[in-house]
Structure 1
């Protein structure tokens, strides 16, 4: 296995004596700003670097030591001689970071499958505006991959890296002798189980495992939603609501973990520690996705047995399957910090690290829609060309395009799994899976969807009839979007649905 590792010992990339002091920019939306505190900030500060935070939105600052786009002074970049800029995925707005400043992206989420395969096989949009992207695994060159970008350059370079947070969690977890916490990492309440059910889960842990403390950590930015839970448990001495800047404060003491299925904390814990954990499925979780989680419960009554099984596994050591998963999806586990310094030293010298894999870019910086009509026309053009996936969230400053593109990608992922969806354009019943799009200022309609897996035989018959009719006119209130092999039917039906919902006469682009 060691023979597969490229050498980083050349003088060009040697970083032991390199001077990393100076200012560095970290730019991300408020909800992603915590990635800084869990990885880059302590790393850079240990070598004399100073982080300047820039929130890539107009929301109130999550921490007082930073700026947002609303209050950023015009001479912001003139005030700081930044050596490099960091971001998460593609969360940097267009034209924000000067092109001469190297922009390095770290993944926002944790990938439980080989990341590069998805990045180079249809998910290239995650590469966004960055000059470099630190991948979890080792990417292979691809002639077919193409990235849409608002940053004027020919390529984005992937750097095989691993995961700073996973390495740090594994190191601390193995070094921490105390395993006296059952931790629950919660997601945003819009997708996860009701707060009353979460409260019941916590009470089960407190009741059945008296030797353990229970720590609940809300998703950063969603802490206020968990205030009623904290109030209900304020008399419990063994309960704590963790709202600190990093989840790594208590995770090293976790004997086991509860996690909402749409959070990344559970997957990182599984792979880093090699221990099982308990997954709480979200309201819209597909049953087929349960295979990605070793232990899934569907009611609070199942929790005590599941936690007991995890605690028993802790005594037996690492789960072999999870160790193999770590070796399969993480490039050189345990070496991310070393690689970070070697890569950064090369980039600051103006060199390209020899391990970089270049992916071609399609520059779309000239796309600047000036009206709702132009936003819609741009969306329809990219749907017709099949390039929506490449432009993921690059048009976030245009609310109509951004909302509809997010809706398209949500449904498209279900189409890829062969799952049809029923889509409504008006107020949806509370039992529906998700509300995607509404902007009162722009007068947008509701766009909400529900998977058809629960519709039984009559629903399946309806789907069959609709597919035979292909593009039969949707009803005034809803439409069924169906999967198809070349996506043409889905694109056409989605475009017609959007036109109908917005009451527009914009002509569909022709092939």
Structure 2
């Protein structure tokens, strides 16, 4: 990196409101320390999270000319198409933390995470196979992957090791709709306050969900050891955490385990398929959670778990070096040069395929399903409600299929029509259709087959569900296309 390179000037951060904190926790402190000025732009119409921010509704026409951005940053594929001018380099960072080799998943079925960015900071060392391709709505020949690691994990590890106080039991709660009901959260926090009197108990809600936690404040606000942490970065209290409780669908738990080498307490969620890292304690009741916290406190005295250290070194590119690499890469990009470590992946330019009507959205989805490319479209068409909701539904079913789980689907009648939903355990005795071949699904699938005679009907009936049970991606896409046609038609 040239010693005299000036990093001052304006930089754009563009992401949905709920993802903006990822940028705050990683890149913002670095750029501001070198004289960079951060301009926030929410890629949605939600009210700006800060008074100095913008959203897509209040964006003035001369926004980009006024600020003369040196570079733009986004999370995954959060930047809307045609928003960032092509002369402004667009750099994407991962929204989530991947506990498996990241680029293997990115290029094997989640390539649209790379979306329209010019550069993507990968968690590990990219090794795209022959024929790897990335779909894009922004015309260019390639997206360049930069082996990077993880800024937040590096920073948390440094602060956790340097912080002598370990006086916090922290509970990181996921999205309200998928985490524990508030009475259960209250019981968990009360049990921790009772059983561990020498610790603060800090509850950290998912960003934007703070209002739902008013009952906890009302019930426990008198206790000086209870803290509801709703502002700033999660790194405010995590370096002081002697033990961490986390909902399975949050990424904070995996960050903490990998950064500190300590185990944690994972709280499973009903109706979700996420699995915790194998080194976490899984606990549900307040009594089980209290015992698991005690086990974490005991384990901490023994130092870092070797298995977690090995995992960190396996899935991260050069742990501890992300800040140095950030400046090295940015120095090249600002000089319009390609960093020598960049790995180029060819782009599939989709052209101007904006669907104008609901039927166009269905036609586009069916076209990509039949071509076997729908998984490469992840999040590219998120501004189109029907396409986006059906694509998200496809991903839910696909994840279950990849794990060998049968997935029952049923029609849900609504005033405005009908929609598709995944059956929960309480619905498993409903009739269903066999949609696509059954294979390799073990006892759960066999139980449903024995209970219900598989049928083939021309269209789903009011009281039926649909089983999409094949691990083959091609057959699965064909089955899902048949489901879409049966429910929504093609004309």
TM tier relative to shorter chain: over 0.9
8 Å CA contact retained: 1:260, 1:281? yes
Task: State the alpha-carbon separation in 2 of the partners of residues 130 and 205 from structure 1.
Answer: 44
Question: Offset at 1:490?
Answer: 2.7
Indicate which of 386, 392, 401 corresponds to 1:400: 386
The aligned residue for residue 159 of structure 1 is: 146
Match of 1:493 among 463, 476, 479: 479
SS in structure 2 at match of 1:426: strand
Match among 168, 188, 194 for residue 207 of structure 1: 194
Q: 1:209 to 1:16 in 2, by over 3 A?
A: farther
Within the candidate set 392, 417, 421, 1:448 is matched to: 421
Following TM superposition, by how much is the alpha carbon of 1:474 offset from its aligned partner in structure 2, in angstroms? 3.5
For 1:247 and 1:285, how far apart are their aligned partners in 2? 24
Match of 1:87 in 2: 74
SS state at 2:109 partner:
coil
Matched, 1:413 2:399: yes
Instruction: Find the counterpart in structure 1 of residue 306 from structure 2.
Output: 320
Query: Any idea what SS the aligned residue of 1:396 has?
Result: coil
Report how far residue 324 of structure 1 moved. Answer: 0.6
Indicate the residue corresponding to 2:360 in structure 1: 374
Of stretches 41-50 and 145-154 in structure 1, the one that deviates more from structure 2 is: 145-154
Q: 3-state SS of the aligned residue for 2:203?
A: strand
After superposition, give the CA deviation of every residue in 1:343-365 in whole Å (9 maximum; x if it has no partner).
00001111111111111111113
Aligned to 1:122: 109
| CA–CA separation in structure 2 for the residues paired with 1:290 and 1:136 | 19
Contact 1:124 1:145 in 2 (8 A): no
Rounded Cα–Cα distance in structure 2 between residues aligned with 1:214 and 1:225: 18
Counting only pairs closer than 5 Å after superposition, residues 43-442 of structure 1 correspond to structure 2 as: 43-286=30-273, 289-290=275-276, 292-426=278-412
Equivalent-residue separation in structure 2 for 1:453 and 1:262 (angstroms):
22
Paired residues, number: 478
Distance 1:459 1:347, change over 3 A: closer
Distance 1:466 1:149, change over 3 A: farther
Task: Provide the residue aligned with 1:10 in structure 2.
Answer: none
Kindly state the Cα deviation for residue 501 of structure 1 after the two structures are TM-superposed: 3.3
CA contact (8 A) 1:396 1:402 kept: yes
Partner of 1:6: none
Give 1:176 shift: 0.4
Local SS of the residue matching 2:178: coil
For residues 80 and 55 of structure 1, the distance between their equivalents in structure 2, rounded to whole angstroms, comes to 16
Contact 1:257–1:278 (8 Å) recurs in 2: yes
- Distance in 2 of aligned mates of 1:140 and 1:69: 36
Deviation at 1:455, TM superposition (A): 4.8
The answer (yes or no) to whether the contact 1:278–1:307 under 8 Å persists in 2 is yes
8 Å CA contact retained: 1:258, 1:279: yes
Contact 1:463 1:480 in 2 (8 A): no
Whole-angstrom CA distance in 2 between matches of 1:30 and 1:15: 35
Is there any run of 5+ residues in structure 2 with no aligned partner, and where? 430-442
Distance 1:353 1:470 in 2: 55
Task: Please give the secondary structure, in 2, of the residue aligned with 1:425.
Answer: strand
What's 1:433 paired with? Answer: none
Separation of aligned partners in 2, 1:357 and 1:459: 42
SS at match of 1:58: coil
SS at match of 2:40: strand
Distance 1:471 1:112, change over 3 A: farther
**Per-residue deviation at 1:226?**
1.4
Asked whether the equivalents of residues 273 and 318 of structure 1 are also in contact (C-alpha less than 8 Å), the reply is yes
Residue 459 and residue 21 in structure 1: after superposition, are their counterparts in 2 closer, same or farther (change >3 A)? closer
The alpha carbon displacement at 1:332 in A equals 0.7
When the two structures are superposed, what TM-score results if normalisation uses the length of structure 1?
A: 0.89
d(CA) in 2 for partners of 1:205, 1:352: 51
Partners of 1:263 and 1:181 lie apart in 2 by 19
Q: CA deviation at 1:143?
A: 1.8
Q: Distance in 1 between matches of 2:387 and 2:157?
A: 41
Matched residue of 2:269: which SS?
Answer: coil
Displacement of 1:487:
3.2
- 2-side partners of 1:32 and 1:336: how far apart? 20
| Cα distance in 2, alignment partners of residues 471 and 316 from structure 1 | 60
1:452, CA displacement in angstroms? Answer: 6.8
Contact kept, 8 Å, 2:406 with 2:445, in 1: the verdict is: no
SS in 2 for 1:316: coil
Measured against aligned partners, the alpha-carbon deviations of 1:460-502 in whole angstroms (never above 9, x if no partner) come to: 3443698976777543344323232433443233223333433
Paired residues of 2:405 and 2:445 also in contact (CA < 8 A): no
Q: Per the alignment, do residues 111 and 470 of structure 1 end up closer, same or farther by CA in structure 2, a change over 3 Å counting?
A: farther
Is the contact between residue 422 and residue 481 of structure 1 (CA under 8 Å) also seen in structure 2?
yes
CA distance in structure 2 between the partners assigned to 1:112 and 1:453 by the alignment: 31
Structure 2 match to 1:509: none
On the 8 A contact 2:468/2:480 being kept in 1, the answer is: no
Describe the SS at the equivalent of 2:405: coil
Task: Give the RMSD, CA atoms, in angstroms.
Answer: 2.2
Which is further off, 41-50 or 116-125? 116-125
Name which of structure 1's ranges 83-92 and 481-490 shifts more when overlaid on structure 2: 481-490
The normalised TM-score by structure 2 is 0.93
